[in-house]
C-alpha cells in the first residue's frame, strides 16, 4: 500500500520481499507490481539497475526515487523508496486552424489529463492522441500535433503540460472519382454509396463506411478510399471541398466453387456454385448452383441488381427442388422477384413468388398444388453482435397469401412470427429464449403448397425429434398443418473464449386443428464452438413423445 502525499509513511506497509535470482527488492506493493516484469534474474551492476528502474518509475510519475543497495551473503538487497508522485499542476492546450470556436472549446475541455491528476507517460500520450484523433475524424483530415512539452519539476513534484495542435482546413466531401473500373458501368460505385453526399462535412467514419460497403460487394477484390487534397477547392465560408478517390481492383468475372458438408436435418451434402457479377454488362450479379443432399436436391439461379436510389436491392430467381422427408415426396418448381430494404434496425423483404408443387405420400397418387404468393417479411434486430449475440432481441413477422382468382389452387393467408431474446447472466453465461408461431387461414390445407403450411422438429426448432417429423400424419407420412407453435429455453456457459456447454428444453408441434394441440417436448445438452461464421452447436436431445435420442448440429446464430 502506498500513500502518495505522505512519503514518510511509505515503508509502514512494505510488501513481502520480491526475489529475482540473487536480487532482493523491498518496496511498496504498487511499485512491486510495476517493476516485477523488468527485474533481472541476476543483480548485476547497481548503477545500471538504478538507471533502468528510474526510467520505468518516471513513466508513472515518480521522478525522485531513493535507491539503497545493501550487499548480503547471497546477493544484493535493494530498498526502494519511489518518493512522492508527480501531479499535474498546469495545462496549456491550444488548437489553431480553421476550426469552429465551439468545437475548439469542446476539445480543450475534454483534455484527458487534467490538473490534479498524477502524471503518467501513457496518459500523456493518450491525451494528445485523443485530441488529434477527434480532429482527424471530423472535418479536419489534415490536423497535426505541432509540438508538445511536459515540464517536470522533480523537486516540487509537479508537471506543467503544453500541447499545440493545428486543425488545418475544414473539409467537405466533394464528388467521387473512381479509378480501376474496366468491366462495370461508372455509376456502380455511386449506387452503393449511402455514406455521404457531396457538400456534407467530412467524417472519417463515413469514408471508411463506403470502403467497407464496396469491399463487401461481389465486384471488387480490393477497395481503397482516399482524399484528393491537390484538387481541394476553398469555399466562401472558409471550408474546402475535397474530392474522394475510390481505387478498386475488380474480381475475376467468373468463379466456380465446390463444397461438401453435412446437416443433421437433411444429411450429407455436396454442391457446385457458379458466380458472375456482371450479367449483360450491367453489374447484375448471378448466383447459381446445384446442391445434392441425402434428403433434398436443389438447382437454383438468382440475379441480384445493384441498390437503387432508395437503397433497395432487387432480385429475381428460379428454383427446382426434389425432397423426400418423413415419407413425403415433393417436387416443386418456383420463380419469383424480391426487393430488400434496410430501414434503420428493420429489414423489409417484399416478394412475389409462383410455384407448382407435386407431392406424394408413401406411394399414393400424386397431387399438384399451385400458388402465386405476394409476401412480406419484416425483421427487427437489436442485438450486441449479429453472429454471436449475448444481449438483445430479434423479432420477425411474415404475411403472405394466395387466391384462386389469381393463379392459386386455394384461397389462403399465411401468418408467421418468430422472436428470439438473449439475456447475459454474469460474465460467461447466456440465456436464449425463442418462440415461433404460425397460422394459415384457409378452409382446408388441400391445394396449398407445403411451403405455406407448417412442419417442425429438428435442429433450430424442436430438438429430440427428426427433421420435420412433427406435423399432420397422412398415409403414414408427415405433412404440413395449418397451425404451428414452438418454444425453447437454452442456457449456455462459456468455458473460455472458444468453447461452451449448453442445456436446453424445446417444445412444439404442427397441427391442422386446435383440438389436436399436444406439444412435443425435447431436452438435452450440447457443446458450442465459436467459429468465424458464428457459434456451431452440437446437441444430444431426448424426445419424450417418441422416447428417442437424436443428435443435432447446426450454426447457432439468430435468424
Residue 226 pLDDT > 60, yes or no? yes
Q: For position 6, what pLDDT does the model report?
A: 32
Q: What is the DSSP letter of 130?
A: H
Q: Which residues of 27-52 are buried (b: 16+ CB within 10 A; e: fewer)?
A: bbeebbebbeeebeeebeeeeebeeb
Q: For position 49, what pLDDT does the model report?
A: 84
Residues 550 and 441 in one domain: yes
- The highest-confidence range among 185-199, 230-244, 347-361, by mean pLDDT, is 347-361
pLDDT band of residue 27 (cuts 50, 70, 90) is confident
Q: For position 43, what pLDDT does the model report?
A: 64
Q: For position 311, what pLDDT does the model report?
A: 86
Contact 170, 143 (CB under 8 A): no
- To which H or E segment does residue 484 belong? strand 483-494
Range of the domain at 120: 87-166
Contact 29, 18 (CB under 8 A): no
pLDDT in tens, 525-558: 999 999 888 889 999 999 999 999 999 998 877 7
Residues 234 and 105 in one domain: no
pLDDT band of residue 5 (cuts 50, 70, 90) is very low
Q: 85 CB contacts (<8 Å, ≥6 apart)?
A: 4, 60, 61, 62, 118, 119, 157
pLDDT band of residue 397 (cuts 50, 70, 90) is very high
**Which of the two residues, 496 and 15, has the higher pLDDT score?**
496
Q: What mean pLDDT is reported for the chain?
A: 91
Q: Which residue has the cell 408467421?
A: 416
pLDDT band of residue 29 (cuts 50, 70, 90) is confident
Chain-centre distance of CA 406, in angstroms? 42
Residue 11 pLDDT > 70, yes or no? no
pLDDT in tens, 428-443: 899 999 999 999 999 9
Residues 370 and 354 in one domain: yes
Residue 190 lies in a domain: yes
Task: Decide which of 64, 81, 98 is a domain's last residue.
Answer: 81
Contact 144, 165 (CB under 8 A): yes
Residues 46 and 158 in one domain: no
- Which range is least confidently modeled, 20-24, 274-278, 368-372? 20-24
Residue 193 pLDDT > 50, yes or no? yes
Residue 323 lies in a domain: no
By C-alpha distance, which of 510, 373, 506 is closest to 438? 510
Residue 2 lies in a domain: no
Residue 134 lies in a domain: yes
pLDDT in tens, 72-115: 777 778 888 888 999 999 999 999 999 999 999 999 999 999 99
Neighbouring-strand partners of residue 352 = 337, 374
Q: Which residue has the cell 502506498?
A: 2
Residues 370 and 433 in one domain: yes
Residues 118 and 209 in one domain: no
CATH no. for residue 157?
Answer: 3.10.20.310
* Cβ atoms < 10 Å from Cβ of 417: 15
Residue 9, SS3? helix
By C-alpha distance, which of 283, 321, 323 is closest to 301? 321
Neighbouring-strand partners of residue 483 = 439, 511
Residue 1 pLDDT > 70, yes or no? no
Residue 14 pLDDT > 50, yes or no? no
pLDDT in tens, 442-468: 999 999 999 999 999 999 999 999 999
CATH no. for residue 547?
Answer: 2.40.160.50
Residues 225 and 286 in one domain: no
Residue 4 pLDDT > 50, yes or no? no
The sign of the torsion formed by the CA atoms of 288, 292, 293, 299 equals positive
Residue 398 lies in a domain: yes
By C-alpha distance, which of 523, 548, 551, 547 is closest to 537? 551
Number of domains present in the structure of the chain: 5
pLDDT in tens, 512-530: 999 888 999 999 999 999 9
Residue 349 lies in a domain: yes
Q: For position 360, what pLDDT does the model report?
A: 95
359-400-510 Cα angle (round to 5): 55
Q: For position 186, what pLDDT does the model report?
A: 79
The pTM assigned to this predicted structure is 0.76
Residue 322 lies in a domain: no
Residues 75 and 204 in one domain: no
Residue 176 lies in a domain: yes
Contact 395, 510 (CB under 8 A): no
pLDDT in tens, 351-393: 999 999 999 998 788 999 999 999 999 999 999 988 889 999 9
Residues 474 and 437 in one domain: yes
Residue 16 pLDDT > 50, yes or no? no
Residues 203 and 95 in one domain: no
Task: Decide which of 132, 166, 200 is a domain's last residue.
Answer: 166
Q: Which residue has the cell 424445446?
A: 506
Residues 131 and 120 in one domain: yes
Residue 18 pLDDT > 80, yes or no? no
Residues 418 and 539 in one domain: yes
Q: For position 200, what pLDDT does the model report?
A: 95
Task: Decide which of 208, 223, 250 is a domain's last residue.
Answer: 250
Q: For position 108, what pLDDT does the model report?
A: 95
Residue 475 pLDDT > 80, yes or no? yes
Amino acid at each position: 500500500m502506498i500513500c502518495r502525499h505522505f512519503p514518510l509513511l511509505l515503508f509502514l506497509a512494505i510488501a513481502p520481499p520480491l526475489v529475482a535470482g540473487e536480487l532482493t527488492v523491498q518496496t511498496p506493493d504498487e511499485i512491486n507490481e510495476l517493476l516485477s516484469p523488468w527485474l533481472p534474474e541476476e543483480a548485476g551492476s547497481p548503477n545500471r539497475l538504478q538507471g533502468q528502474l528510474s526510467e520505468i518509475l518516471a513513466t508513472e510519475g515518480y521522478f525522485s526515487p531513493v535507491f539503497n543497495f545493501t550487499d548480503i551473503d547471497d546477493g544484493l538487497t535493494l530498498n526502494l523508496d519511489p518518493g512522492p508522485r508527480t501531479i499535474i499542476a498546469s495545462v496549456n492546450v491550444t488548437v489553431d486552424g480553421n476550426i469552429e470556436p465551439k468545437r475548439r472549446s469542446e476539445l480543450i475541455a475534454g483534455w484527458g489529463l487534467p490538473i490534479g491528476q498524477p502524471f503518467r507517460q501513457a496518459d500523456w500520450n493518450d491525451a494528445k492522441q485523443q485530441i488529434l484523433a477527434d480532429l482527424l475524424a471530423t472535418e479536419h483530415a489534415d490536423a497535426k500535433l505541432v509540438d508538445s512539452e511536459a515540464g517536470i519539476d522533480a523537486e516540487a513534484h509537479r508537471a506543467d503540460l503544453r500541447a499545440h495542435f493545428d486543425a488545418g482546413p475544414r473539409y467537405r466531401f466533394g464528388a467521387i472519382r473512381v479509378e480501376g473500373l474496366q468491366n462495370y458501368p461508372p455509376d456502380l460505385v455511386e449506387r452503393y454509396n449511402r455514406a455521404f453526399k457531396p457538400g456534407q462535412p467530412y467524417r472519417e467514419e463515413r469514408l471508411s463506411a463506403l470502403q467497407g460497403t464496396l469491399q463487401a460487394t461481389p465486384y471488387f477484390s480490393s477497395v481503397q478510399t482516399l482524399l484528393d487534397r491537390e484538387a481541394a477547392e476553398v469555399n466562401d465560408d472558409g471550408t474546402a471541398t475535397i474530392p474522394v478517390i475510390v481505387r478498386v481492383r475488380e474480381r475475376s468475372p467468373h468463379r466456380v466453387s465446390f463444397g461438401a458438408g453435412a446437416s443433421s436435418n437433411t444429411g450429407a451434402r455436396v454442391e457446385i456454385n457458379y458466380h458472375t457479377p456482371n450479367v449483360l454488362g450491367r453489374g447484375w450479379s448471378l448466383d447459381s448452383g446445384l446442391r445434392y443432399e441425402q434428403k433434398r436436391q436443389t438447382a437454383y439461379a438468382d440475379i441480384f441488381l445493384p441498390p437503387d436510389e432508395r437503397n433497395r436491392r432487387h432480385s429475381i430467381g428460379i428454383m427446382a427442388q426434389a425432397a423426400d422427408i418423413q415419407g413425403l415426396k415433393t417436387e416443386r418448381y418456383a420463380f419469383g422477384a424480391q426487393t430488400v430494404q434496410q430501414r434503420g434496425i428493420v429489414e423489409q423483404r417484399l416478394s412475389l413468388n409462383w410455384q407448382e408443387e407435386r407431392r406424394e405420400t408413401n406411394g399414393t397418387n400424386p397431387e399438384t398444388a399451385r400458388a402465386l404468393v405476394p409476401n412480406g417479411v419484416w425483421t427487427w434486430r437489436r442485438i450486441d453482435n449479429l453472429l454471436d449475440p449475448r444481449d438483445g432481441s430479434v423479432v420477425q413477422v411474415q404475411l403472405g397469401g394466395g387466391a384462386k382468382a389469381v393463379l392459386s389452387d386455394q384461397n389462403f393467408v399465411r401468418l408467421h412470427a418468430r422472436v428470439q431474446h438473449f439475456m447475459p447472466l454474469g460474465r460467461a453465461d447466456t440465456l436464449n429464449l425463442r418462440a415461433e408461431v404460425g397460422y394459415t387461414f384457409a378452409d382446408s390445407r388441400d391445394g396449398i403448397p407445403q411451403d405455406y403450411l407448417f412442419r417442425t422438429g429438428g435442429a433450430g426448432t424442436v430438438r429430440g425429434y427428426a427433421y420435420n417429423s412433427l406435423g399432420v400424419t397422412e398415409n403414414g407420412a408427415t405433412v404440413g398443418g395449418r397451425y404451428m407453435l414452438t418454444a425453447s429455453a437454452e442456457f449456455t456457459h462459456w468455458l473460455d473464449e472458444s468453447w461452451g456447454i449448453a442445456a436446453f428444453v424445446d417444445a412444439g408441434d404442427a397441427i391442422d386443428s386446435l383440438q389436436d394441440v399436444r406439444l412435443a417436448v425435447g431436452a438435452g445438452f450440447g457443446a458450442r464452438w465459436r467459429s468465424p461464421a458464428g457459434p456451431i452447436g452440437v446437441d444430444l436431445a431426448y424426445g419424450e413423445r417418441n422416447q428417442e435420442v437424436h443428435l443435432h448440429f447446426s450454426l447457432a446464430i439468430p435468424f
